[in-house]
Amino acid sequence: MRFVAEGCLKLYRIDDTGKEHILQFGIMGWWVNDLYAYLTQKPATFFIQAITDSTVLQVHRDQLNKLYDKIHMMDRFFRIKTQNGYVALQERTINSMSQTADECYFDFIRKYRNMEQQIPQYMIASYLGITPEHLSSLRKNLVRKLS
């Protein structure tokens, strides 16, 4: 488990063509993990990389399990954290299937305004599943609507 104490990280996978697909960003106060690998104890399929200078606190699975046994509130805390993460991922998946790229981008900037300022636009495009050129067009349209 990794906790972002400072900075900004990305969780991503690289496909067979070498294209990067960003699943998650993590900013100060957030947790970033390849949860599937963590829970199944299978080899990781995602990479985690700092986007900005970052401080990350990490606890190994074995140590975390010992904490669960000693401090039952830790078990509850991580269970709730995992549940909330699952709900957020499911919501993002459903939204990406049912919303237009415009709506997905507007949701992203509405929910994560502070994060948007820290992340290069091509990474936001990857996260949204669109090209950087399409994102640039969306941003231009947004500026026109606001002016």
Q: What does the pLDDT look like over 56-73, one tens digit per residue?
A: 999 988 998 899 999 989
pLDDT at 25 over 80: yes
Average pLDDT over residues 104-122: 87
pLDDT at 82: 85
Average pLDDT over residues 15-38: 92
pLDDT at 72: 87
pLDDT tens digits along 29-59: 999 999 889 889 999 999 999 999 999 999 9
How far apart CA 138 and CA 125 sit, in angstroms, is 10
pLDDT at 132: 94
Radius of gyration of the chain (CA): 17
pLDDT at 136 over 80: yes
39-53, 81-95, 122-136: segment of lowest average pLDDT: 81-95
